[in-house]
Structure 1
Amino acid sequence: MKKTQKMEDLTAGIILDEYESLYRMAYTYVRNESDAMDIVQESAYKAITKCQTVKPRYLKTWIYRITINTAIDLIRKNKKEVIGIEDYEYGAEDSYQDFDTLDALNVLSPREKQVIVLRFFEDMKLAEIAEILNENLNSVKSVLYRSLKKLKTELTEGEEHYEQ
């Protein structure tokens, strides 16, 4: 078997193993089932066609990076479109059902959102996140704690009204 074919097979295997996580991550960005599926499919295509350029040990984190970038590209492309509330789609079948938490993610910058999604939604270790985002581990830790503080503020903002 040729080296190219081995890399394509390895890449396809990782994509299949990580498909649900990649989908959930894409969904947190676009909040639309069909767009999230398109992102994962486009990312898989990009990964399989370019996998020869990556060392095998970096494939998984590289695929996550492609998926994040593809989601961000789609958001930028569609930014000029105005979405009405009737077009805003919550995935009935999706495993992220806490919409207050999903809405709270909107207070985060894209970088902060990436760290939170990878850490808590995809249960990745901080070292993996640093590798995916190509950042220093201490930077990722700082972003994580700053993001958690923002989320806590956002999620507890209205609670004092209910306690009275």
Structure 2
Amino acid sequence: MSSTEDDGFAAFVAARGTSLLRVAYLACGDEGEAEDLLQTALERTYQNWDRVRYDDPEPYIRRVIVNTSISRARRRAILRIIPMHTPPELPVRETDVDLRHVLMDTLRALPPRQRAVVVLRYWEDLSETQTAEVLGCSAGTVKSQASKALAKLRLASGGESVKGVIRNVHA
């Protein structure tokens, strides 16, 4: 790769790195693993930079992050070492901070595909079509996975509307 292409990649990472790290963290729920996910995604993107730089490279990186997160979760499931986070039976509702903790714990407990849908749809504010494109599935799958995930989040939050809370959790 030429130094001009290297500079373009470096500028892209500098501009979007924080947002992509947030996506990685929300996809896996662990800060250290999020950094590893992002590093993997950036390595793969760098290897294919000639191809993806002319389009918008961000959806490509998001897809790598989500797919890698799902693959790692499956491997852990096979090895039976998935950390289990259980939401409290009755969430403490004194402050928004408590609700945020409950939602984050519940988000971490969601299956990887449902967690990816919630992160992309509501944190990254992608449309159903964009989310389906990133995940490599149909819009109907995105809708059903979002519905199941939101039902679990709603149950953990004591029945509150969680879409708005989700969007405000990272604020």
| Pairwise same-fold verdict (TM > 0.5) | yes
Task: Select the residue among 32, 38, 41 that pairs with 2:39.
Answer: 41
State the secondary structure of the residue aligned to 1:135.
coil
Matched-pair contact (CA < 8 Å) for 2:107–2:153: yes
Cα deviation, 1:106-164, whole Å, max 9, x if unaligned, reads 4432211111011222222323212211222333223222321222123227xxxxxxx
Cα deviation, 1:63-105, whole Å, max 9, x if unaligned, reads 111112233344455564587x9xxxxxxxxxxx922111112
Paired residues for 1:51-70 under 5 Å: 51-54=49-52, 56-70=54-68
- Structure 1 unaligned blocks of 5 or more: 86-96, 158-164
Matched-pair contact (CA < 8 Å) for 1:12–1:48: no
Residue equivalent to 1:149: 151
Once residues 142 and 110 of structure 1 are traced to their aligned partners in structure 2, the CA distance between those partners, rounded to angstroms, is 14
State the secondary structure of the residue aligned to 2:55.
helix
- Structure 2 unaligned blocks of 5 or more: 86-98, 160-171
Matched-pair contact (CA < 8 Å) for 1:14–1:60: no
TM-score by length of 2: 0.65
Once residues 126 and 82 of structure 2 are traced to their aligned partners in structure 1, the CA distance between those partners, rounded to angstroms, is 34
State the secondary structure of the residue aligned to 1:15.
helix
Q: Percent sequence identity over matched residues?
A: 27
Bigger RCO of structures 1 and 2 (CA < 8 A, at least 6 apart): 1
Paired residues for 1:1-164 under 5 Å: 10-54=8-52, 56-76=54-74, 80=79, 98-156=100-158
Once residues 105 and 68 of structure 1 are traced to their aligned partners in structure 2, the CA distance between those partners, rounded to angstroms, is 14
Matched-pair contact (CA < 8 Å) for 1:104–1:151: yes
TM-score by length of 1: 0.67
Residue equivalent to 1:91: none
Once residues 39 and 107 of structure 1 are traced to their aligned partners in structure 2, the CA distance between those partners, rounded to angstroms, is 18
Matched-pair contact (CA < 8 Å) for 1:118–1:124: yes
Once residues 19 and 108 of structure 1 are traced to their aligned partners in structure 2, the CA distance between those partners, rounded to angstroms, is 25
